[in-house]
Structure 1
Amino acid sequence: MPIVRVTLTAGRDETVKAFIARGVVDSVAEFAAVSPDGIHVLFTDLERQAWAIGPRLLSESQPPPQTVRSMPYQHITSVEVGHERRGCYLDWRRTRLYPNLAVTKGFLTTSVVLSEDDEADRLVVMERWRTEQARQEFMSMNAELLNEAADIVLDAKTLASGTVADTWGNASR
């Protein structure tokens, strides 16, 4: 039963907290391999006069202006691995690629979608980054790591890439 505590300055409404809770629960369930139903998210709202950064109370300074974070960059690729290599490819992602992505600035999330046909040779890989530049920097800095996949992947084609135009949920996630 994971318990996650989130402390915020007071003033956020229930909708914002619901989105935060959804993001926390989804992430913890996915990465800790636990049921979402057992994850507790506890919110604490603190007034600005009850919070200090360094020697200065937040109430002594102006709150930062509300900014709308730009929409993320998404890259979607069709990857042909062949049914017999699918496990090898997924293992490479989990053991080699994911640890590097987890510590990369600007990386948000990645998913691999399997076809409903269990015998399918193609996978769809979706990556979400803060910016296209963050993805490009990762690709150039990790060329050797990415070349490892060339021994497994038979073919890869970009299906779509670009700034997300619309999304349901919290775009700043």
Structure 2
Amino acid sequence: MEITGAAPGGRDRDTEGRARNARPRDGLGRPLPYGAQGVARQPEGVVRTPAETVAEAQRLLDAGKPFHAHEVFEDAWKSGPASERTLWRGLAQLAVGLTHAARGNGTGGARLLRRGAGAVEDWAAEQGDAQSYGMDLPGLAGWARELAARVERGAGPVDAGAEAPRLGS
């Protein structure tokens, strides 16, 4: 979808009039000045299978782009069955928590990591391994809680690529 640029009032709009931010972004999703060289953004609204979602999110996490991985999980939560929204939303929260921790926002990062950990634990408790799509959900929850504790203790900005979790078991 084409972005038309800043509309009257300063908001970027797509060709259908919806608000879109056309500013380039860095690898952690932070807006850069117009005209700056940014990192390619994830296309929005992509419908993927659960396996494709996990694989693409893992690729982005490994590349140190948790903000972009969050967008992949967000697509899954918005386009997938309502019965799976808790899982994909929880995974998106984990990715955003890592994003905040990498940006140096320990308080927000820890909060989102714990919220996401609770969501994936709840999902795992309700669904079991049959609906985990090969992910180690208890392991992810443990990773998130451990990272949350470290950033709260003042670990400072973390290296998103080095701290990226392994989604699979």
Pick 1 or 2: higher relative contact order, CA cutoff 8 A, min separation 6. 1
Greater fraction helix: 2
Greater fraction strand: 1
Q: Which has the larger radius of gyration?
A: 1
TM-score, with structure 1 as normaliser:
0.25
TM-score, with structure 2 as normaliser:
0.25
